[in-house]
DNA sequence: CTGTTAGCGCCTTCAT
DNA sequence: ATGAAGGCGCTAACAG
């Protein structure tokens, strides 16, 4: 006979056991339970600690993290704010991030804030949990707004909309873009086209500017700029410009997805994936570019390093000195068949 | 002169205002503040409600959802438990799910539990927030364990490991598989090969069984079964079997990613994406199959419907009658060039 | 309609 | 080393 519920089929108890229950069972005070269960070593006699642990186990006790944070002021929650899921342009990045955050004992609250309206809504309705930190990719929120949303001073901005009070981690895209354009120049490219994303994003504006600088440095003429939205479909549409009429020597896209669209629309111009009329360069270095069908030369950064920087800021917020410049992660050119 | 902090650069106040502060400023009791700020209509005089709203605004007050849930017993948090991020085989599904959950006023806590060890760890360390509901994709957790992890009776299992106490939503794969195999049979396929994922997953076992049943029904011989892991790379590797020696009439893969790998490895056998030596069928109906390079016939379900079922269970947990069978979402065959 | 009074579950002094 | 007591921010009864 045992009082232990059958682990295999047990419902969660209608009313979950609290610290009081454990204390009662172990015949100690709540304070002792608190100490015995604490991660950090606290003075408790071995005997009582043992009783507490056993009692907790027997009851299936799990501390209520919410109640806990009410006094500790730390919720062990990190908000990740995105626009769409696809913002995390490569799932690899997101998977790593999630792993890293969990590894430091925190959990990820994923928020999709795909428009300014949504930001306002969150702010107005006040339905956002307080968190230890917020990591922001969404274009639609600036640092001050996010601080208000989550009642947290620790917001790390990855969307370029940081201010003096909040740290930021941003890829140094100029490097990789410079390398890619240099590669093109070395191969004789003189006339280029650029397929861009929404110019509303600060990141995108900077990206375009970097391309212009690099083109100028290598005496490459930017003959046409086509506006897309980062998607495959928009790249596919933009490609019509290169199929008819004189094409440029190289087409640069500010996302791999658009480059994939261009490539598919222009397959006849890429026999065996080798460029014939023009060379093709993407951006993001998606793992998809390792698939045979899309061997697109691209620009990317070290994801592990990127995540490491973010994680460090979450773990040691104090290393950030207000007003200091964003942490930058260098990008590099990854040559592939289409170049 | 104003006491309002500059919204554009404001830090979150070192010590955030509480309900008490608002009550004091508005010269009412905390209870009135609580009512005035409540979503559901509660008795408050228009005058006082107004003062409360103004005071809250002036202070930049945001209710502490944690403290709130301490009394209401509802945290407005829904855990989504995955194995890897890639479990959400299509981002579309996940994006919808996130949107749907936010639409009902809850937020998503994303947990990656990629191994049995991790499950044990979560259980042992007790570092998992209590949530209103948990939605489980990860193979590594059964319903009872998840109920314990999150102190919640409402866990919706999508991994096939449900029990009588927990609802489940599962695609009815037999339908789509039947349709796909029928399509192949109608085109004269007699000898088939199957490329599978990890057989440890219950879902995968059922999937394979369905294929066997369908093959038998259409007098198709399953000549070889190759073990992959759902990934592109594993499909690519498996394909070597079809390049040398006699190939089957059709290759069925239990994931689109593997089918993409097979397709790439066998490109010569698919001039213009038209099958020559064998037909190719995938699974999941990824949006990637809309890309020109991978026109893979596939099997999929209505994602909107799937998400709708899940959301309904979250919103109205009581509709679930313990012991009732899983909610099933029919799958269908989506013909494309490779078939 | 309004204010007062109890807690929710936990951690942290503070005595002991 | 231990227990008692207070309080974290909020909502839910209660009386008025």
All structural domains of chain B: 19-65 (1.10.260), 77-167 (3.40.50.2300), 172-303 (3.40.50.2300)
Per-residue CB contacts under 7 A with strand D, chain B residues 38-57: 38
pLDDT of A227: 96
Chain-chain contact of A65 with B130 (C-beta, under 8 angstroms): yes
**Rounded to 10 degrees, what is the CA torsion of B65, A120, B16, A144?**
130
**For residue B89, is pLDDT > 80?**
no
Chain B residue with the nearest C-alpha to that of A17: B151
Both tokens assigned to A325: 């410049």
- Per-residue pLDDT band for B7 (boundaries 50, 70, 90) equals low
State how beta strands A327-334 and A169-172 pair. parallel
- Mutate which of B5, B8, B65 to disrupt the A interface (most A C-beta within 10 Å)? B65
Q: DSSP alpha helices (H): ranges in chain B?
A: 19-26, 30-37, 46-59, 65-72, 91-103, 116-125, 143-150, 173-186, 202-217, 232-238, 240-243, 256-265, 303-315
Q: Which residues pair with A253 in a beta bridge?
A: A195
pLDDT of B100: 96
Which residues in B lie closer than 8 A to residue A107 (C-beta atoms)? Answer: 109-111, 127-129
**A69 in contact with nucleic chain D (CB within 7 A):** no
Chain A residue with the nearest C-alpha to that of B163: A9
B10 closest CB neighbour out of A95, A144, A265: A144
**Chain segment B96-132, per-residue pLDDT in tens:** 999 999 999 899 999 999 888 888 888 888 788 889 9
B2-to-A42, A101, B23, B51 alpha-carbon distances in Å: 48, 40, 19, 17
Beta strands in chain A (DSSP E): 77-82, 107-112, 133-136, 155-157, 169-172, 191-196, 221-227, 250-253, 279-281, 298-301, 327-334
**Chain segment B200-252, per-residue pLDDT in tens:** 888 899 999 999 999 999 999 999 999 999 999 999 999 999 888 788 999 99
Residue A202, burial from CB neighbour count under 10 angstroms (0-12, 13-18, 19+):
middle
Q: Is B303 on the interface with A (CB under 8 A)?
A: no
CA of B105 to C1' of C2 (A): 29
Average confidence score pLDDT of chain B? 90
Instruction: Compute the distance between CA of residue B77 and CA of residue B101 in angstroms, rounded to an integer.
Output: 9
Q: How far apart are the first and last CA of chain B?
A: 73
pLDDT of B114: 84
Maximum average pLDDT range among A81-95, B28-42, B292-306 = B292-306
Chain-chain contact of B84 with A95 (C-beta, under 8 angstroms): yes
**Chain segment B168-204, per-residue pLDDT in tens:** 999 999 999 999 999 999 999 999 999 999 888 888 9
pLDDT of B103: 92
Instruction: Compute the distance between CA of residue A147 and CA of residue A144 in angstroms, rounded to an integer.
Output: 5
Which residues in B lie closer than 8 A to residue A105 (C-beta atoms)? Answer: 127
Q: Which of A254-263, B23-32, B34-43 has the lowest mean pLDDT?
A: B34-43
Chain-chain contact of B8 with A126 (C-beta, under 8 angstroms): no
Q: Which of A80-89, A205-214, B19-28, B32-41 has the lowest mean pLDDT?
A: A80-89
Instruction: Compute the distance between CA of residue A278 and CA of residue A251 in angstroms, rounded to an integer.
Output: 7
Q: Is A3 on the interface with B (CB under 8 A)?
A: no
pLDDT of A90: 67
**A105 in contact with nucleic chain D (CB within 7 A):** no
pLDDT of B214: 98
pLDDT of B3: 44
Q: Which nucleotide is nearest to A30 (CA to C1')?
A: D3
CA of B126 to C1' of C15 (A): 32
Both tokens assigned to B337: 């060039």
In percent, how much of chain B has pLDDT > 90? 63
pLDDT of A88: 52
pLDDT of B12: 65
Closest CA to A262 of A280, A289, A244: A280
Closest CA to A95 of B237, B38, B84, B145: B84
pLDDT of B2: 40
Instruction: Compute the distance between CA of residue A197 and CA of residue A208 in angstroms, rounded to an integer.
Output: 9
Q: Is B95 on the interface with A (CB under 8 A)?
A: yes
pLDDT of A41: 77
Burial B95-113 (b: 16+ CB within 10 A, else e): bbbbebbbeeebbbbbbbb
Q: Is A74 on the interface with B (CB under 8 A)?
A: no
Nucleotides of D under 7 A from a protein CB: 1-13
pLDDT of A201: 86
pTM confidence score? 0.91
A170-to-A160, A161, A207, A307, B196 alpha-carbon distances in Å: 7, 10, 12, 11, 40
Query: Is the separation of the CB atoms in B100 and B306 below 8 Å?
Result: no
In percent, how much of chain B has pLDDT > 70? 95
Q: What is the pLDDT along chain A (339 residues), one digit of tens a residue?
A: 334 445 566 776 677 889 999 999 999 999 999 999 887 777 888 888 999 999 998 888 888 888 988 888 889 999 999 988 876 566 788 899 999 999 998 999 999 998 888 888 888 777 788 899 999 999 899 999 999 888 888 999 999 999 999 999 999 999 999 999 999 999 999 999 999 998 888 889 999 999 999 999 999 999 999 999 999 999 999 999 888 878 899 999 999 999 999 999 999 899 988 999 999 999 999 888 889 999 999 999 999 999 999 999 999 998 999 999 999 999 999 999 999
Mean pLDDT of the region B31-35: 91
């Amino acid at each position: 006979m045992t009082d232990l519920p059958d682990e295999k089929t047990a419902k969660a108890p209608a009313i979950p056991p609290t610290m009081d229950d454990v204390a009662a069972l172990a015949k100690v005070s709540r304070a002792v339970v608190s100490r015995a269960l604490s991660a950090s070593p606290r003075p408790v006699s071995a005997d009582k600690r043992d009783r507490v642990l056993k009692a907790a186990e027997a009851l299936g006790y799990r501390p209520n993290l919410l109640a806990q944070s009410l006094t500790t002021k730390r919720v062990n929650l990190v908000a990740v704010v995105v626009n769409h899921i696809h913002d995390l342009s490569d799932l690899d990045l997101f998977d790593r991030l999630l792993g890293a955050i969990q590894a430091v004992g925190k959990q990820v609250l994923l928020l999709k804030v795909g428009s300014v309206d949504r930001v306002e809504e969150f702010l107005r309705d006040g339905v956002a949990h307080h968190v230890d930190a917020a990591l922001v990719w969404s274009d639609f929120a600036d640092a001050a707004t996010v601080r208000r949303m989550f009642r947290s001073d620790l917001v790390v901005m990855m969307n370029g909309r940081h201010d003096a009070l909040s740290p930021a981690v941003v890829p140094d895209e100029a490097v990789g873009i410079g390398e890619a354009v240099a590669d093109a120049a070395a191969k004789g490219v003189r006339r280029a086209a650029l397929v861009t994303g929404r110019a509303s994003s600060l990141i995108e504006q900077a990206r375009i500017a970097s391309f212009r600088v690099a083109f100028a440095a290598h005496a490459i003429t930017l003959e046409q700029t086509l506006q897309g939205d980062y998607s495959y479909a928009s790249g596919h549409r933009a490609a019509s410009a290169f199929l008819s009429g004189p094409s440029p020597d190289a087409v640069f896209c500010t996302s791999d997805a658009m480059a994939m669209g261009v490539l598919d629309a222009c397959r006849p111009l890429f026999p065996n994936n080798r460029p014939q009329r023009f060379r093709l360069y993407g951006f993001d270095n998606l793992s998809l570019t390792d698939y045979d069908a899309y061997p697109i030369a691209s620009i990317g950064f070290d994801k592990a390093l990127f995540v490491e920087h973010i994680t460090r800021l979450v773990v040691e917020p104090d290393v950030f000195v207000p007003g200091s410049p964003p942490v930058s992660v260098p990008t590099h050119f990854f040559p592939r068949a289409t170049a």
